[in-house]
Amino acid sequence: MYASSIINQINLVSDQINKSKIKIILNNLENNISQQLDGSVVEMGCYVGTTSLFIQKLLIHYDQISNFFVYDSFQGLPDKAPEDLSVVGDQFQKFQLSCSKSDLITNFKKNNLPLPRITKAWFNQLTNQELPKKIYFAFLDSDFYFSILDSLKLIWPVFNQKGTIIIDDYNREALPGVSKAVNVFFQHKKVKVKQVENLAIITNN
């Protein structure tokens, strides 16, 4: 499988994710690619592109050029909701993790990869006009309750039910809002939520 071969071809450009989790994301994506599912790939919370670089490399290999959409405020994290308050401390503050869109673009250029379609916005200000018409794979990595909930509400109406949604920081004590958003959103939906490391992997089988 190509996914495992690219893991050593690109360096991590931040400490926001490790290669073990990237491998899991790529394996799931490659599995969906092999099923030739209709739609596009999105990453909500792309930051400087640590994961996006790997996703784009895989998509390019499979001729899915211009099929990758990434979103971020590029202003860092928003305010915390009560759901985000954690007993293990007060890390992850408002505006933390801010970076510029050009930091992301530079990382793609350094890796000789074409740019994904980049949208700078707060998720609660996005409309379906700015989303692809159909999505078969989504990686959500935005740390907070409403950031995850808003992303899920946006993508769900256009999600290809044969595809996969992966959410980072599931069951992570420092970011309790993530699991709460996932659990609330999917509680009455017919999906399977599997946890691998602290990724929630959502499929319909």
What's the closest the beta carbon of residue 15 comes to ligand SAM, in angstroms? Answer: 9
User: For residues 98-114, b (16+ Cβ closer than 10 Å) or e, as one string?
Assistant: ebeeeebeebbeebebe
Q: Which of 32, 50, 56, 67 binds ligand SAM (CB under 6 A)?
A: 50
Verify binding: residue 16, ligand SAM, rule CB under 6 A.
yes
Verify binding: residue 152, ligand SAM, rule CB under 6 A.
no
Verify binding: residue 159, ligand SAM, rule CB under 6 A.
no
DSSP 8-class letter at 104: H
What's the closest the beta carbon of residue 183 comes to ligand SAM, in angstroms? Answer: 18
Phi and psi based region of residue 169 (left: phi greater than 0; alpha: psi -120 to 50; beta: remaining): left
What's the closest the beta carbon of residue 33 comes to ligand SAM, in angstroms? Answer: 20
Tell me the number of residues near ligand SAM by CB under 6 A.
Answer: 22
Q: Which of 67, 141, 165, 202 binds ligand SAM (CB under 6 A)?
A: 141
**Tokens at 41, concatenated:** 């790939």
Question: Residue 75: which of 150, 164, 142 has the closest Cα?
Answer: 142
Residue 93: HSE in the Cβ half-sphere, 13 Å Cα cutoff: 3
Kind plus residue range of the DSSP H or E element containing 179: helix 176-186
Q: Which of 25, 26, 33, 77 binds ligand SAM (CB under 6 A)?
A: 77
User: What is the residue type of 73?
Assistant: S
Given the complex with ligand SAM, which of 145 and 159 has the nearer CB atom? 145
Q: Which residues bind ligand SAM (CB under 6 A)?
A: 14, 16-17, 45-48, 50-51, 72-73, 76-78, 97, 122-123, 141-144, 147
